[in-house]
């Protein structure tokens, strides 16, 4: 499948049917993210256990790309170790900067299509930047 088609199909599917949407209470991590340029707002919740992401949910509103990226992210990180999650965040951010992604990005390769729309890159990275911030705050406690 061409990347353009994959991009459209995956983004539209996650936008129409967001995965892991909702609040998580109680939670170990609750972090807010915003992309004022586009009006995207996001709340991200995580529960961690034994160094892994046991549960993850998100709430928010904004453009299809930001919401789809958040939905895809929750699927990608659930059950992963924190080291794996941080590696994935780095890979995703690198990919959005124009680096060639490795296999670890999996289905997230679809987000590569966003690079053609530079003003939307921040929409796609918003959930990932928020996730990193939440993990940093958690680690600093
Ligand atoms: Zn946006």
Ligand 1 centroid to Cα of residue 87, in Å, is 24
pTM score: 0.94
Contacts of 2 (CB under 8 A, 6+ apart): none
- In tens digits, the chain (141 residues) has pLDDT values of 566 787 889 999 999 999 999 999 999 999 999 999 999 999 999 999 999 999 999 999 999 999 999 999 999 999 999 999 999 999 999 999 999 999 989 989 999 989 988 999 999 999 999 999 999 999 998
Give the chain as a 3 state SS string: CCHHHHHHHHHHHHHHCCCCECCCCCCCEEEEEEECCCCEEEEEEEEEECCEEEEEEEEEECCHHHHHHHHHHHHHHCCCEHHHHHHHHHHHHHHHHCCCCCHHHHHHHHHHHHHHCHHHHHHHHHHHHHHHHHHHHHHHC
Q: Cα of 139 to ligand 1 centre, how many Å?
A: 28
Enclosing domain of residue 42: 3-140
CA of 119 relative to ligand 1 center, distance in Å:
8
> How many domains does the chain contain in total?
1
CA of 67 to the centre of ligand 1 (A): 8
Q: Are 24 and 57 in contact (CB under 8 A)?
A: yes
CA 75 – ligand 1 centroid, Å? 20
Find the 51 Cα to ligand 1 centroid distance in Å: 31
Question: What pLDDT score was predicted for residue 3?
Answer: 64
Token readout for 103 is: 């296999």
Q: How far is ligand 1, taken at its centre, from the CA of residue 49, in Å? A: 31
Q: Report the alpha-carbon distance of residue 44 to residue 21 in Å, rounded.
A: 9
What's the pLDDT score for residue 41?
Answer: 98
- CATH number of the domain residue 64 falls in: 3.90.1010.10
Residue 92 has a pLDDT of: 97
């Amino acid at each position: 499948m061409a990347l353009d088609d994959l991009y459209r199909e995956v983004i539209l599917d996650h936008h129409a049917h967001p995965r892991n949407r909702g609040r998580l209470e109680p939670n170990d991590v609750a972090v807010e993210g915003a992309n004022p340029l586009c009006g995207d707002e996001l709340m991200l919740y995580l529960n961690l256990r034994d160094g892994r992401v046991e549960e993850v949910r998100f709430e928010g509103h904004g453009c299809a790309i930001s919401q789809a990226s958040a939905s895809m992210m929750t699927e990608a990180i659930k059950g992963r170790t924190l080291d794996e999650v941080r590696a994935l965040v780095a890979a995703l951010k690198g990919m959005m900067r124009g680096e060639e992604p490795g296999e670890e990005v999996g289905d997230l390769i679809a987000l590569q299509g966003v690079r053609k729309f530079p003003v939307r890159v921040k929409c796609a990275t918003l959930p990932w930047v928020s996730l990193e911030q939440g993990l940093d705050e958690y680690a600093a406690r």
